Amino acid sequence: MQPVYFALILLLMIVFSAIKILREYERGVIFLLGKFYKVKGPGIIIVIPGVQKMVKVSLRTVVMDVPPQDIITKDNVTVKVNAVVYFRVIDPRKAIIEVEDFLYATSQICQTTLRSILGQSQLDDLLSNREEINNHLQKVIDDQTEPWGIKVANVEVKNVDLPQEMQRALAKQAEAERERRAKVIHSLGEFEAAAKIGDAADIINQHPPALQLRFLQTMLDISVDKTTTTFFPLPIELFGPFLKGNDSKGNNNNPGSA
C-alpha cells in the first residue's frame, strides 16, 4: 500500500504543478520542448511539467523613469534632462521572443533617443515647445519598440536643469523683456493721452465758454484741498487786450505789411 500512496501523492503534485492561474492583466507564453506553442490566459491554464514551460507577461501600463541625461543642445548649451515614459506590452509573444529583456531594452532606447532628439533642439524650443518635443519623442521611441510588441503611449520631459550662469542670463533676458513691454505700454499711454488732449483742445477752441467752465472747476478742486496755497482767480478776458496788442505789433513789424 505504501507504493500506491506514494504514487498517488506524486500524481497529485504533478497535477497541482500543472495548473496555473493567470490574472486578467497577465498572459502566459507557452513553449513546447523549447519551441513557441501559444499564448494562454487569463484564468486557469494547464502547463505540462517537463514538456511545456510558461513565461508570464503583464499587460498593464508600465511607468518608467528615464534617468537624467547630460545633453548638449544645438546652440551648445549643456543641460541635464530627465523624462518619464508610459508603455505597455500588446504582443506577449514578441516581447518574450524578439528581445531578451524588454524592460531593460525599452529603458536604453528611451535614454539614447532622449539624448539624440534633444541634442538637435535649440534651448528655447526645449523650454517653450515642450509638447511638440514630447510628441516627437513618443513617435520615435514607439517606432523602435514596435518590433518587440511594445506600444509607447506617452513620453513626458519632466525637468530641464540649466547651469547657474545660464539661469542668470535667462533671468536678465526676462527682465529686459518686461522692461521693454513696460516702456511700450507707457509710450502707448502717452500717445493716447496726447491724442485726447488734442481732441479736448479742439473742442475748447470751438466752444470758448468751455475753458471758463474748466477754470471754475479747477478753482473748486483747489478750494476743497486743505493746503496753505493762496490763489487769485483772474478772468481770462483781462488778458485779451494784451494778446491783441502783441498780435498788432507783430503785424506792424512784418516787412510785407502796407
Do 145 and 204 sit in the same domain of this protein?
Answer: no
The reply to whether 181 and 137 lie within a common domain is: no
pLDDT at position 83, please?
93
**How close are the terminal C-alpha atoms of the chain, in Å?**
155
| Shared domain check, 50 and 81 | no
Q: Is residue 244 part of a domain?
A: yes
Round to whole Å and give the CA distance between 97 and 120. 34
Q: Domains in the chain: how many in total?
A: 3
| 50 & 105 share domain | no
Among the ranges given (47-51, 72-76, 98-102, 216-220), the one the predictor scored with the smallest mean pLDDT: 216-220
Residue 81 sits in the same domain as residue 114: yes
Cell of 155: 513620453
Dihedral of CA 133/136/140/146: which sign?
Answer: positive
Q: Which of 12-16, 22-26, 206-210, 238-242 has the highest mean pLDDT?
A: 22-26
Grid coordinates given for 160? 530641464
Question: Cis omega (within 30 of 0) on the bond before 67?
Answer: no
Question: What is the average pLDDT value for the chain, to the nearest integer?
Answer: 82
Sequence-distant (6+) residues with CB within 8 A of 33 are 51
* Domain end residue (candidates: 58, 89, 105): 58
Residue 256 lies in a domain: no
**CA distances from residue 216 to 199, 201, 202 in whole angstroms, order as listed:** 20, 17, 19
Res. 8: pLDDT tops 90: no
- Each residue's pLDDT tens digit, 194-233: 888 787 777 777 777 766 677 677 767 766 666 666 555 6
Q: Is residue 131 part of a domain?
A: yes
Is residue 202 located within the same domain as residue 114? no
pTM for this model (two decimals): 0.64
C-alpha–C-alpha distance, residues 122 and 159, integer Å: 16
Q: What angle do CA 131, 135, 136 make, to 5 degrees?
A: 115
In this structure, are 151 and 192 located in the same domain? no
The torsion angles phi and psi of 63, rounded to 5 degrees, stand at -105, 115
What is the domain extent for residue 110? 62-162
Say if residue 55's pLDDT is above 80.
yes
116 belongs to a structural domain: yes
* 258 within domain boundaries: no
Reply yes or no on whether the pLDDT at 249 is more than 60.
Answer: no
* Of 121, 124, 119, the residue nearest 72 (C-alpha): 119
Last residue of a domain, one of 162, 190, 207: 162
Q: Which residue has the cell 541625461?
A: 69
